[in-house]
Structure 1
Amino acid sequence: SEHASVVRSQIIELNEGFQAALVLYDEGLLSNDKVLASTLWRRFYNQDCKSAHQLEALIHYVRQSMHMLDSTELEDLIDGKKLRWIHIDKVFEELKKK
């Protein structure tokens, strides 16, 4: 049916967008802050972030979160131990002190 065809097309489009986002985030995480900033600006802010301070805070937040995840034991993740996520407000406060 036409409806099923439209739904299938939308699912394919959504999947392609998701796959592209994964590649971009992976590149940003494995590269420098400039590449990560570009990725966050495009994907997270949809190219509409007018505050360099907000973008800088998000970069710090992502880097700190990745550090926390990297330092978490795999067994802790498998066992469902509670993760200690960083609060974005804390990142903003730290940047204000600089």
Structure 2
Amino acid sequence: MIVRIMGEGQVTLAESRLADLNELDEELLAEMENGDGPGFRATLQALLAKVRELGEPLPDDSLEPSDLILPSPDATLKEVQDLLSDEGLIPGTA
């Protein structure tokens, strides 16, 4: 699958690796619900770092349709809330 991190670019990520992101996605949702700004920021950074670690970057000139769009590292709590689905940021994890 193709994952876009807003403001950074795209990576390819095996769908089987989505399970590796479950815990961080659930933690991020809980922090958002509790209004934990510092926790939210740290977990968002950790989630994006994990995507970068598990994914393979696409060339900058590649414009593939994204299967999943994640917020930029400096996204606000409100911006992330706007991206949420019923399943959180990562499908099948909430």
Per the TM superposition, whether the score is higher than 0.5 is no
Structure possessing the higher relative contact order (Cα contacts under 8 Å, 6 or more residues apart): 2
* Structure with the largest fraction of helix: 1
Structure possessing the higher radius of gyration over alpha carbons = 1
* Structure with the largest fraction of strand: 2
TM value normalised by structure 1: 0.34
